[in-house]
Amino acid sequence: MHGTPIHDTVTFLRERFTRAPHAILVLGSGLGGLADEIEDAVRVPFDEIPGFPRRTQALAGHAGQLVAGRMNSVEVVAMQGRFHLYEGWEPADVALPIRALAALGAETMLLTNAAGGIRPGFVPGDLMIIADHLNLMFRNPLIGPTFPGETRFPDMSEPYDLAFRRAAAEVARDLRIPVTEGVYAGLLGPSYETLAEVRMLGRLGADAVGMSTVPEVLVASAIGVKCLGISCITNLAAGLGGQKLSHDEVMEVGARVRDQLAALVRGVLPRIAGSNLASEAAN
């Protein structure tokens, strides 16, 4: 890693963050308010971090900064906002924050996103634990030279850790938060899907659709970072809700379910970061 752009990124972040993270939080559209739950927070804007893409415009709902600190006694670094392929970045750009934060010591990643519901019965505000995904972006951040510590051909039979998913379902049940499991389809965007595309996605087995998450999880799988993904169904996919789709609707629903999602994240974090905490205590 020494002498590469990511080396400069890791060196910079190690100087800014005095404690190594146990978990990475990736917060999607309208869900960045979860970072306000972090205690003793250190905030670093993306634009100050060497190697990070320089954003030319802000996307509503994405503050564009890293927030490091503690959430429910777990050391975390949250991405308050993320990079998207539809902004014009290369897959390696989108993946760089995950590679850098894993190099700081994180072994667990919890991702949230805003998604359109495809499965019949979904309503805006529902929460879906991601069981699997379809990569219909047809881009992969693992193309090219293999980074140190990464597997060239990662197994993708369980990109979202089964034990993490069970833990999330148990926490949700204890908190009386309705959740379901489903398959997330990642599309390139930025346009919403056509009616024909929504019908196709349903036939392919997708329960929800969005424009993120898949690149980060692909890199995490190669590094060995275990993942838990939670989609907030912020709207019904085209043709299913009887109204035009808009980013404003995504933001409004994200704000409405913030408290439930925050409670679920707080509750599940100690469960999925437990192996890291136990290892640290043993030392």
- Identify whether 200 is a catalytic site residue: no
- Identify whether 211 is a catalytic site residue: yes
Residue 164, marked binder: no
Residue 231, marked binder: no
Q: Which of 71, 78, 79, 114 is catalytic?
A: 114
Q: Which of 23, 37, 84, 216 is catalytic?
A: 84
- Identify whether 247 is a catalytic site residue: yes
CA 138 to CA 21: how far, in whole Å? 31
CA 176 to CA 171: how far, in whole Å? 8
Residue 140, marked binder: no
Residue 114, marked binder: yes
CA 38 to CA 168: how far, in whole Å? 19
Element (H, E) at 117: strand 108-117
Residue 157, marked binder: no
- Identify whether 140 is a catalytic site residue: no
- Identify whether 133 is a catalytic site residue: no
- Identify whether 160 is a catalytic site residue: no
- Identify whether 221 is a catalytic site residue: no
- Identify whether 114 is a catalytic site residue: yes
Check: CB of residue 113 under 8 Å from CB of residue 231. yes
Residue 70, marked binder: no
| Helix/strand/coil percent split, the chain, to 5 | 35, 25, 40
How many alpha carbons lie under 13 Å from residue 107 in its C-beta half-sphere? Answer: 8
Q: Which of 90, 158, 200, 247 is catalytic?
A: 247
Active-site positions read 29, 62, 84, 86-87, 114, 211-212, 235, 247
- Binding site, annotated residues: 29, 62, 82-84, 114, 193, 212, 235
Going by the annotation, the residues of the binding site for phosphate are 29, 62, 82-84, 114, 212
